[in-house]
Amino acid sequence: MLIDNNLLDNIDEFLIYKYDYLKIGDILKNRFNKRVTYIEDLDKHNITCNVTKHFVDNKLIDTFKTLYNLNVPNKISNDINILFDLRSNSRVWLNQTIIIKNIIYQLKQRYGDYNINFYISGFYNHLKSPDHNYNTDKEVTQQNAIFNEIQRVFDFKIYNLINKTLPEIVNVLLDVDLVIGNSGSGAMFMSAAIFNKHVIAFTNTKLIEPFNSQRDSFENKVSNTYYLHKSYIVDDENGNFFIRPYILLDEAFSTINNKILDTKIYNS
């Protein structure tokens, strides 16, 4: 909004609290020559905030793409790129390993005439403020263990995006055709909101509708995102969940056949 309304020159200093997930501090310093300070403890600073809910229009998304050099024309190729997004700290998809392995196997068999690639993302790294000592080792280790269990059953490379920075993941998303994963994560949000990619999303039954209702906050209505119906999801007592077998595979087949293949070059 500051850029769109030509207000950036009125700001002398930007304060960034704790995490700079998208490294906006680097852009402000290097491209706009702004002073940036990372702060750890809000109690040590006199800060007044006016927080409002904001409607994300297409112009704002275009500004974001320009800032991060994401205005790249779509390439026509025979690549089909599928990204699975893991979550391990809450709202965990409990049977994700066996289902992801089955989907990869089935898609590789079905679309052998295309160059089909698979990516797995999860926890994303971030720029920490100078005094912050947040330990990410446990979550990264858990997710890498899931990745390794999936990779070891295949003789082709699966690309590991776990513990990459969000800007690194966003650049990969430019070429991703379909994202399958847990609602609310960085990769899922960017895929749907910024690129309006084809997304199959899910979470526990209590939060499916609240996540789905967030469409109205975006001008594009994240129109290519499909939320699994809660009848296909079984919660446990901790807010984690199982997904019933085969529904995700069927949805992946349907999305690829009806919405993605027409944009690809077929190698007969």
Q: What is the pLDDT of residues 223-242, one digit of tens each?
A: 999 999 999 999 999 999 99
More confident residue, 15 or 144: 144
Cα–Cα dist 261/111, whole Å: 10
Q: Which residues, other chains included, contact 252 with Cβ-Cβ below 8 Å and sequence gap of 6+?
A: 82, 103, 107, 178, 180, 200
Q: Is the pLDDT of residue 131 over 60?
A: no
Q: Which residues, other chains included, contact 117 with Cβ-Cβ below 8 Å and sequence gap of 6+?
A: 79, 80, 81, 82, 159
Averaged pLDDT, 12-41: 82
pLDDT tens readout for residues 147-165: 999 999 999 999 999 999 8
Domain ranges of the chain: 8-54, 79-263
Phi and psi, residue 184, nearest 5°: 95, -5
pLDDT confidence tier of residue 115, bands split at 50, 70 and 90: very high
Q: Is the pLDDT of residue 43 over 70?
A: no
Cα–Cα dist 143/133, whole Å: 20
**Cβ distance 161 to 120 under 8 Å?**
yes
pLDDT tens readout for residues 6-24: 777 888 888 887 677 778 8
Cα–Cα dist 46/141, whole Å: 38
**pLDDT score at 50:** 56
Share the mean pLDDT of the chain: 87
Among candidates 182, 214, 220, which has minimal Cα distance to 64? 220
Cα–Cα dist 222/22, whole Å: 21
pLDDT tens readout for residues 176-203: 999 999 987 778 888 988 899 999 999 9
Q: Is the pLDDT of residue 32 over 70?
A: yes
Which CATH code is given to the segment(s) 79-263?
A: 3.40.50.2000
pLDDT tens readout for residues 59-92: 888 988 888 888 877 778 899 999 999 988 889 9
Averaged pLDDT, 241-266: 93
Q: Is the pLDDT of residue 104 over 90?
A: yes
**pLDDT score at 208:** 92
Q: What is the signed CA dihedral for 79, 167, 199, 221, rounded to 10 degrees?
A: -130
